[in-house]
């Protein structure tokens, strides 16, 4: 999530609100007013401005540098944190907004960029408040992530029904390891939430159970497999995600063939480069493989699935390390607030079409990065 640091703030508890540049007569406590001009805004949840002397009257004040005021858009939802950090939890112009359901998880994936916590305060009230502030006309994707979203049990159903009510036309994608969805009754509850455009993405890291189980840190391969069948039976659109690393890169073709023969009903399969943060950073030596070194296995796997109408995609990958035959499958998938290009990319005509790099991968990337100066 995008963050800004404020120069001054006078509050001691978190403030959540929708950004506005307009004057409102009703439900003003839902809004955080942004203006560089002298204002009287005591009826708003907070005011964000660039000069304390311009604020006539308000109970909550946040002062940002003048050029940072352009970072806000009408309809964004932000959290004014007690530490002076402004966090954008919903961006009106983003192609996808992600709701962090929980940081708990029943897996301990060796490459997880955001390792799970054992204890946390429930995020349910906060997330219901967040959803209530979302644009009712929103047609852009809402992601449900974690941690493991299903770890909160039926509270997840409550959240999904709230999304359905507030944003009935928004597609929803949930990233889950599928363990809880191996229980058909729970999978049925998810499928019955009434979200018209729902996709559930489940990771499958190998066609060999022991390899998959080692990567996720739990003996749950067959539970994830059962979840895929349960969701298919319930008519839910399904995606499979494959993070590629040293442990599984040599079996990408066999995994692709396994998916085709066992899960021909899935809607898409995404092959993903790792984000070197959290556990991935800790286990770097055991996980890292130059993406250029498995390019041929990736090409064969992607083309095998494509030839069988299985909708393969490539996430987080740089076009210059991909064989030309599969560059069309690469998606610009990294969130804008953590997407960067490195000096080797300067002058590349593919910039903007290429996924770029996670900011945390600045020091850990392929040694074969080059810039395209002609057609790519």
Report the topology of domain 96-361: TIM Barrel (3.20.20)
Report the topology of domain 3-87: Glucose Oxidase; domain 1 (3.50.30)
Question: Quick check: helix, strand or coil at residue 25?
Answer: coil
Q: 73-102: per-residue pLDDT in tens?
A: 999 999 998 888 999 999 999 888 999 999
Residue 58 has a pLDDT of: 62
Mean pLDDT of all residues belonging to the chain: 92
Residue 54: pLDDT band (50, 70, 90) is confident
Q: Where in the chain is the domain with CATH 3.20.20.70?
A: 96-361
Q: What percent of the chain has pLDDT over 90?
A: 70
**Beta-carbon neighbour count of residue 261 at 10 Å?**
10
Residue 40: pLDDT band (50, 70, 90) is low
> Rounded to two decimals, what is the model's pTM?
0.92
Q: At what angle do helices 221-233 and 184-191 cross, to 10 degrees?
A: 50
d(CA 91, CA 78): 9
Alpha helices in the chain (DSSP H): 124-133, 154-166, 184-191, 209-216, 221-233, 252-262, 279-282, 284-287, 295-307
Q: 247-272: per-residue pLDDT in tens?
A: 999 999 999 999 999 999 999 999 99
Q: 286-338: per-residue pLDDT in tens?
A: 999 999 999 999 999 999 999 999 999 999 999 999 999 999 999 888 877 77
Residue 150 pairs in a beta bridge with none
Q: Where in the chain is the domain with CATH 3.50.30.10?
A: 3-87
Work out the burial of residue 266: count CB atoms within 10 Å of its CB; fewer than 13 is exposed, 13-18 middle, 19 or more buried.
buried
pLDDT at 374 over 90: no
């Amino acid at each position: 999530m995008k963050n800004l640091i404020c120069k001054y703030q006078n509050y001691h508890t978190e403030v959540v609100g929708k950004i506005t540049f307009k004057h409102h007569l009703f439900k003003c406590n839902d809004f955080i007013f942004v203006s560089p001009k002298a204002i009287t805004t005591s009826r708003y949840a907070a005011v964000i401005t660039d000069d304390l002397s311009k604020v006539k009257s308000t109970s909550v004040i946040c002062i940002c540098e003048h050029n940072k005021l352009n970072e806000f858009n009408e309809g964004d939802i932000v959290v004014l944190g007690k530490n002076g950090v402004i966090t954008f939890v919903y961006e009106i112009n983003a192609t996808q907004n992600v709701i962090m359901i929980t940081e708990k998880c029943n897996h301990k994936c060796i490459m997880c960029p955001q390792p799970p916590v054992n204890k946390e305060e429930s995020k349910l009230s906060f997330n219901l408040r967040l959803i209530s502030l979302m644009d009712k006309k929103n047609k852009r994707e809402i992601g449900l992530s974690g941690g493991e979203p299903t770890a909160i049990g039926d509270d997840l159903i409550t959240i999904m029904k709230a999304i359905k009510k507030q944003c009935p036309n928004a597609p929803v994608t949930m990233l889950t390891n599928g363990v809880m969805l191996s229980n058909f009754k729970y999978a049925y509850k998810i499928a019955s939430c009434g979200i018209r455009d729902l996709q559930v993405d489940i990771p499958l890291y190998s066609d060999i159970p022991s390899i998959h189980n080692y990567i996720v840190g739990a003996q749950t391969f067959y539970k994830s497999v059962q979840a895929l069948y349960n969701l298919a039976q319930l008519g839910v659109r399904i995606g499979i995600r494959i993070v590629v690393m040293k442990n599984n890169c040599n079996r990408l073709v066999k995994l692709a063939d396994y998916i085709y023969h066992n899960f021909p009903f899935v809607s898409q399969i995404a092959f993903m480069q790792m984000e070197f943060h959290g556990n991935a950073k800790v286990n770097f030596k055991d996980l890292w493989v130059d993406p250029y070194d498995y390019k041929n296995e990736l090409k064969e796997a992607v083309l095998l699935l494509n030839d069988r109408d299985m909708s393969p995609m490539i996430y987080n990958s740089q076009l210059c390390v991909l064989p030309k035959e599969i560059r069309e499958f690469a998606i610009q998938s990294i969130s804008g607030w953590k997407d960067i290009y490195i000096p080797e990319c300067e002058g590349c005509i593919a910039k903007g079409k290429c996924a770029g790099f996670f900011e945390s991968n600045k020091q850990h990337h392929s040694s074969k990065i080059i810039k395209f100066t002609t057609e790519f």
